[in-house]
Amino acid sequence: MAKRKKPKANEGNNWHHRKAKVNGGSGKISSGNMIEVDVLKHRAFHLLFGTKTTEQIAAILNKTWIDPAYELVVRKRNEIPRTDTPTTQRGA
């Protein structure tokens, strides 16, 4: 019986906390805070940003990586003014 090959350390996917646990994020996969990402991209993210908050990451991107003619702005989803209103169809 052939043995299964163990994936290399730089191959495959692993789990990323969208909001770091040290910043109050959940570690439960079902929480919506966890997302499966490519291992190399995950390492690159943490190499650049560690466990910084979204606001801190935006500041780093603006200072170092974004075209100076632009500014990346972040705000919580529930603070975005809604311009669309869902419609409900009754009796259909």
Q: What pLDDT was estimated at residue 7?
A: 58
Provide the residue ranges of all domains of the chain, joining segments of one domain with +.
13-77
Q: What pLDDT was estimated at residue 78?
A: 85
Q: How far apart are CA 55 and CA 73, in angstroms?
A: 9
pLDDT means over runs of 10, the chain (92 residues): 63 90 88 92 95 95 97 87 59 47
Round to the nearest angstrom and report the end-to-end CA distance of the chain. Answer: 59
Q: What pLDDT was estimated at residue 92?
A: 43
Q: How far apart are CA 60 and CA 66, in angstroms?
A: 9
Q: What pLDDT was estimated at residue 33?
A: 92
Give the chain's length. 92
Give CA separation, 78 vs 66, 71, 81, 90, in Å: 25, 21, 8, 27
Q: What pLDDT was estimated at residue 11?
A: 81
Q: How far apart are CA 4 and CA 56, in angstroms?
A: 42
